[in-house]
Amino acid sequence: MSDEPAPRLLDARSLRGLAHPLRMQLLIALRRGGPATASRLAEKLGESSGATSYHLRQLAAHGFVADDPERGKGRERWWKAVDQGVQLDETLIKDPDPAVRGAVALFRYELANVHTREVATWLGNTSEWGEEWDGATDLSDFTLRLTPELARELVAKMHDLVQSYRPAAEGTPDAETVRVHTHVFPTQTTP
């Protein structure tokens, strides 16, 4: 069992605070790259430091990021991610407030965009990885006929399997960070 804390469950308020393309990019950058200043994040993301500063303060107001007091000198403000993951409260999908449902939609679209950018970046850089990674990556899709109950079971089993690999390579010098995306969704079939 991993010592990693459980992902933060997004409620309606925190979801509205996070559901913005730049805020999601900032949070991901802090989670993966560690603490940084607004200026460094602006340079990395191709944004203005004014925009990154504003959105970092919004993320802080919703508890996603915090000052990193161990870094920085003088007026230089460093930010760090507070947690390492979020989870959508599925009840928000049917929330009676259209603003909440809109935030859910934006959050999900941005998450899909993040996945698309990550796959595209990997495809563009596959030649930079050594031969040992040949055949160790996957870009597959499957079509199944499932009931909602079986789909939930599949998702739970996939998540359990991925979690079981968290401690597997701890302390191994040749281990790399690996992203695993899962997407399970129904599609319309033509009769």
The 10s digit of each residue's pLDDT in 58-80 is 999 999 999 998 887 767 899 99
Give the pLDDT band of residue 1 (cuts 50, 70, 90).
very low
| H/E stretch holding 139 | none
At 6 the pLDDT is 72
CA separation for the pair 104, 86 (Å, rounded) = 13
With 60 as the cut, is the pLDDT of residue 2 above it?
A: no
At 75 the pLDDT is 76
In the chain, what percentage of residues exceed pLDDT 70?
Answer: 95
| Tokens 């993951």, located at residue | 85
With 70 as the cut, is the pLDDT of residue 5 above it?
A: no
pLDDT (tens digit per residue) in 25-67: 999 999 999 999 999 999 999 999 999 999 999 999 999 999 9
Beta strands in 49-180 (DSSP E): 65-67, 78-81, 86-88
Q: Checking DSSP bridges between strand 8-10 and strand 86-88, what pairing results, if any?
A: parallel
- Could you give the domains of the chain? 8-118+139-164 (1.10.10.10)
pLDDT (tens digit per residue) in 103-156: 999 999 999 999 999 999 999 999 999 899 989 999 999 999 999 999 999 999
Answer whether 29's CB lies under 8 Å from 40's CB: no
Answer whether 107's CB lies under 8 Å from 19's CB: yes
With 90 as the cut, is the pLDDT of residue 94 above it?
A: yes
